[in-house]
Amino acid sequence: MLPDLTATQVVSALKTDGYDCTTDVAYAVCRKGITSIGVLTGTHPRPPVLSVQASGQVDVAWGEISNSLPRILELAHVNQPEIAGWFDQQKGKPIAQQAFGDWLVDISAEVDTEEPGVHLTLTDKLCKTNCQAE
């Protein structure tokens, strides 16, 4: 069981793993290839929201997230490795939601939009205040 990391520590771990990170209002956004990870910043004991997105054709975007998700979960100390397997099982579904421990996980696949891609969001169910960006 890995200890919780603050948002700052998660961003630092992502930078060390080769992600290019910038700050965008309430989120730190870390990018590598077509994948971006949004980390909601603040003073919480762990990030209230982690958002993993890949842009482009849905099959390609899904594969990109699928390949990088186990490492992202490890770097962020999300102690629910089964999320990666569940994500793989949802391929082809436009939306899905599941709870894993203290995390609520949402998937959406955008096919016929101006910005196609796949979005995976992990929300900390234990967070009580300032848990979403404005």
Burial of 121 (0-12, 13-18, 19+ CB in 10 A): middle
Q: Tell me 13's DSSP state.
A: H
User: What's the pLDDT at 129?
Assistant: 85
Domain borders along the chain are 7-124
pLDDT digits (tens, 9 = 90+) for 21-48: 999 888 999 999 999 999 999 889 999 9
pLDDT confidence tier of residue 92, bands split at 50, 70 and 90: confident
How would you label 80-111 residue by residue, b for 16+ Cβ within 10 Å and e otherwise?
eeebbeebeebeeeeebeeebebbebebebbe
> For residue 133, is pLDDT > 70?
no
Residue 134 — pLDDT band, cuts 50, 70, 90? low
Instruction: Find out whether 41 and 51 touch, Cβ atoms under 8 Å.
Output: no
Question: Can you give the pTM of this predicted structure?
Answer: 0.92
